[in-house]
Structure 1
């Protein structure tokens, strides 16, 4: 498929999703440029005084966002970064210097290993090792008994590519303790940390307190335009600011991203427990729908979901599933699934389902009916 055809397909999908009257999640990034600008201009005054001067190199609204993040997570300080890729490289580079060990233990499905083109080793001189290859975070025994030293244990919460999975609170605390027994520091890749509180039954400060440093994203769960934050001890964050400049992250002005992040903290963060609870109902109804439709094999994973996101697996080509999903949206105004992707073993495809505010209106019966319609399109 050429770039042009992919752009056309993306425009088609966005149009179908935008016109859908019923959808499980509606992200602001799927809106138009004008739509996003208008929404930001209309809403930002509710979270920040817009008569204040615009930010310059991280002061003003950006500094205020950093203070709010630190307060929300219960850490001494926080620093805004344009991307999570940069934030985590800086964090782990700082820890490597402090521990004297540039080896990072993490899961092979974690974001830096799968989605960042080897940035840890190529850009930051870090080396990675894997305490486990199972589709879950490592256990305390796997960390404790790993056969070589590492300076930092990095835990992605939740582990997205394994199905947005989380350990239990007891398992997480045991893993952290096992790393500390090895004199390693612990860093949380918390791109989606915001929605983990319900699963753990703990507050965000209680979760963040387990780690030596935490990265959070603003656009994944909080629906901001972009941006991330690194939170932790004041001395670490001060050092991270220096490295942020060296990595090219000292951006002249960032007020649109900062304002949208503030809106996410104010509006989306309090609603995430609602989304997590409803995702469990949606996932169960999807499974009922596939069973009732006589689909030969399917998987809704994990069951029940640990957060407001989960995977669905079906034994059909990804292209066929994506086309059926787009056609359903175009012809019925209902978006049940979005894009599907081929995965191993051959013959299976997977999609990610997110339930947010738009999805709260769906009843279990409506989910089952949408699944029946979707499966009918596959058979047709």
Structure 2
């Protein structure tokens, strides 16, 4: 599941890839996309929803500012791709970094390498972590790894849970933030304690940092200090940064050298990747410095949403977490997802305001409860709290 407001996987599921005769489902999807794209007021306008012409124009406009465009294009990871790897390693304070076409591959390789080095193929991670929910059992099916779950609540594991877990594991994987639990983070002190507990068990620590870029405000720490807690870190180059695709794995030079070998074996030694590398470099220059402002504004938006639902008499609702830990959070309401999505589309069509996008049924719990993910980007900085409350009122009116 992914967020249609973030430029991540959910949006990919709603991207317009239709051709020829349309099924009713395809027609409805296209209607949603058209409504969101035409809306004048949005909290974020995901780059992936742009047309090919717009995407290419944006790439060309930003590329000249991040590298010399007269240099040769990359071949099998040199040139601008190597430049991006050096930039990532420096940003995270790591010895080296390797570019991967996908985060799924990057983490497969990292965890496989650590299994070989520790002699233990068991990975401890949260059951809501990305490999367990969104990768079709790839860690076991492809890499021969085994996963165990030291914690089960909608939060990261505690230090005591790591210490008390009743079987050995070679690697502890921490997803920061834990997206499917609501983009939640521990406190800095809790994170330090969890890492220390893993070290006590002679386990290495790997951070799934697909959205690590926006964690600094919550922790009150810069990226190198956060990354230094772990033995390796994966970061996404399109989630948050607005890039085209790709990921990076950072860590000790010897690990990254081994990871490059496995990247080739896994089919990730791509001939040329300069569009993704250029888009990532542009995102690092343009979006990374603005993330603290998005995180701050998300707190304003979340509080105003809660006030708006209460004032509109919406009944039970939940904004989670409150306040948000990053610039993303969940909203829960006691309606079916189709009802809520239709209200969101109608609001965009009738008023030009797109507050919410697609809604989803809860994976567990009582029927008739749905949630959506909200992301605040540059467009969201223009909203006042009153703007949000007014938009919530308009949304609730369309639920009747």
Which bracket does the TM-score occupy, shorter chain normalised? Answer: over 0.9
How much does 1:20 deviate?
Answer: 1.1
Distance 2:65 2:303 in 1: 37
Q: 1:133 aligns with which of 152, 155, 159?
A: 152
Tell me which residue corresponds to 1:118. 137
Q: 2:381 aligns with which of 357, 360, 363?
A: 360
Tell me which residue corresponds to 2:200. 181
Tell me which residue corresponds to 1:18. 37
Tell me which residue corresponds to 2:54. 35
Alignment of 1:210-249 (within 5 A): 210-249=229-268
Tell me which residue corresponds to 1:90. 109
Q: 1:284 aligns with which of 303, 320, 325?
A: 303
More helix by share: 1
| Aligned length in residues | 378
How much does 1:311 deviate?
Answer: 0.1
CA deviations on 1:109-130 (whole Å, 9 max, x unpaired) are 0000000000000000000000
Does residue 194 of structure 1 match 2:213?
yes
Q: TM-score, normalised by structure 1?
A: 0.98
Tell me which residue corresponds to 1:305. 324
How much does 1:35 deviate?
Answer: 1.0
Alignment of 1:98-177 (within 5 A): 98-177=117-196
In structure 2, stretches of 5+ residues that fail to align are: 1-20
SS at match of 1:183: coil
Distance 2:162 2:63 in 1: 44
Q: 2:92 aligns with which of 73, 81, 85?
A: 73
Alignment of 1:333-344 (within 5 A): 333-343=352-362, 344=364
Distance 1:42 1:148 in 2: 53
Distance 1:329 1:131 in 2: 43
CA deviations on 1:44-73 (whole Å, 9 max, x unpaired) are 111111111111110001000000000111
CA deviations on 1:123-175 (whole Å, 9 max, x unpaired) are 00000000011110000000011000000000000000000000000000000
Distance 2:346 2:222 in 1: 41
Q: TM-score, normalised by structure 2?
A: 0.93
Distance 1:119 1:300 in 2: 32
SS at match of 2:142: helix
Distance 1:320 1:163 in 2: 22
Distance 2:23 2:187 in 1: 45
SS at match of 1:46: coil
How much does 1:9 deviate?
Answer: 2.5
How much does 1:3 deviate?
Answer: 8.1
SS at match of 1:55: coil
Does residue 372 of structure 1 match 2:393?
yes
Tell me which residue corresponds to 2:3. none
Aligned-pair RMSD on alpha carbons? 1.0
